[in-house]
């Protein structure tokens, strides 16, 4: 919901309903979503809150996730005081009394993980958040936070796509499998580059995705999502389209099947080199 913006509540509701109709149940937002769209801090959460206010039944049909810890001009604050205030502010903007998954958006190097964990434990105990996750954290940073939490970390949210391969080798996906954490892959189309290739490298990756898409009668985007989902950590692509028609195509991602040779061909083309 990074680009979930505007003042048209019926149009916003239509996007939510299109996703639900397509079988999407996880809605991932953040308090920082707004300024990138020329809107105030918290605008995306506030718009979703207005949708809930007009159609209260929608709230109970989804797993609601949000994030906090990015502060304009700071840039990061995971102190206990700030995290507690950020969680309360998100609840107020969304107009809900509980968030299923609350994630620290980016790691704050000036906060001891025990301090951040204390605020998250308090919110969890109070019933404000049902589960705790991390976004843009290394495996070591996640492990340090997990050491001080009374409940397991539920999720990682890394950038992961056929163009952003870091989680495959930096330990994040390995940790997710070892600790049974969900993986929410943001920017699964490489920041839109896979949809609109602008150089030979991306064209080469897109060409392999097109072969798979053509073989199964789906879009290139669906092939890109399915490539991510083929990993045994079972990553969940965070689809960012705001077009109801394209939202309706999301289930196409469940169709393609990858052989090992095909999957590794995409990987090696993206790497620009052969694996040893």
Place of tokens 């070892």: 178
pTM of the predicted model, to two decimals? 0.97
Of the candidates 72, 79, 60, which has an alpha carbon nearest to the alpha carbon of residue 30? 72
Percent of the chain with pLDDT over 70: 100
Identify the CATH assignment for 1-157 out of 3.40.50.920, 3.20.20.100, 3.20.20.80, 3.90.76.10. Answer: 3.20.20.100
> Alpha carbon 255 to chain centroid distance?
21
If pLDDT is split at 50, 70 and 90, which confidence band does 14 have? very high
pLDDT band at 59 (very low <50, low <70, confident <90, very high): very high
CA 149 to mean position of chain CA atoms: 22
Residue boundaries of the structural domains of the chain: 1-157, 191-276
**Residue 51: other Cβ atoms inside 10 A:** 24
Residue-level pLDDT at 125: 98
Q: Which residues pair with 267 in a beta bridge?
A: none
Place 115 in a pLDDT band, splitting at 50, 70 and 90. very high
Question: What pLDDT is attached to residue 94?
Answer: 98
Please, which contacts does 239-246 make with residues 24 or more away whose CB atoms are closer than 8 Å?
A: 239/24, 239/188, 240/1, 240/2, 240/3, 240/187, 240/189, 242/3, 242/4, 242/15, 244/14, 244/15, 244/18, 246/221
**pLDDT band for position 110 (cuts 50, 70, 90):** very high
Q: Is the CA virtual torsion 162, 17, 96, 41 positive or negative?
A: positive
What pLDDT is attached to residue 142?
A: 98
What's the token pair of residue 90? 């998100």
Q: Which residue has the tokens 């969900």?
A: 182
Number of C-beta neighbours around residue 100 at 10 A: 16
pLDDT tens-digit profile of 169-228?
999 999 999 999 999 999 999 999 999 999 999 999 999 999 999 999 999 999 999 999
CA gap 6, 168 in Å, rounded: 36
Catalytic residue numbers read 33
pLDDT digits (tens, 9 = 90+) for 119-147: 999 999 999 999 999 999 999 999 999 99
Average pLDDT taken over every residue of the chain: 98
């Amino acid at each position: 919901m990074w680009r979930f913006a505007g003042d048209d509540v019926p149009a916003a509701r239509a996007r939510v309903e299109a996703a639900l109709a397509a079988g999407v149940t996880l809605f991932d937002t953040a308090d920082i979503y707004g300024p990138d769209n020329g809107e105030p801090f918290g605008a995306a959460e506030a718009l979703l809150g207005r949708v809930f206010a007009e159609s209260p039944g929608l709230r109970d049909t989804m797993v609601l996730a949000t994030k906090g810890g990015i502060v304009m001009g700071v840039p990061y604050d995971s102190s206990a005081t700030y995290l507690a205030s950020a969680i309360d502010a998100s609840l107020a903007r969304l107009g809900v009394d509980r968030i299923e998954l609350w994630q620290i958006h980016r790691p704050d190097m000036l906060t001891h993980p025990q301090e951040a964990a204390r605020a998250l434990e308090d919110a969890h105990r109070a019933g404000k958040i049902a589960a705790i996750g991390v976004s843009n954290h290394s495996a070591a940073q996640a492990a340090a936070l997990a050491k001080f939490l009374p409940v397991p970390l539920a999720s990682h949210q890394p950038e992961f796509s056929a163009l952003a391969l870091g989680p495959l080798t930096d330990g994040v996906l390995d940790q997710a499998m070892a600790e049974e954490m969900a993986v929410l892959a943001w920017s699964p189309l490489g920041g839109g580059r896979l949809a609109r290739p602008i150089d030979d490298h991306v064209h080469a990756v897109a060409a392999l995705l097109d072969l798979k898409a053509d073989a199964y009668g789906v879009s290139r985007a669906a092939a890109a999502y399915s490539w991510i989902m083929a990993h045994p950590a079972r990553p969940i692509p965070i689809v960012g389209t705001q077009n109801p028609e394209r939202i309706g195509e999301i289930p196409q991602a469940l169709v393609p099947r990858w052989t090992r040779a095909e999957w590794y061909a995409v990987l090696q083309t993206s790497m620009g080199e052969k694996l040893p």
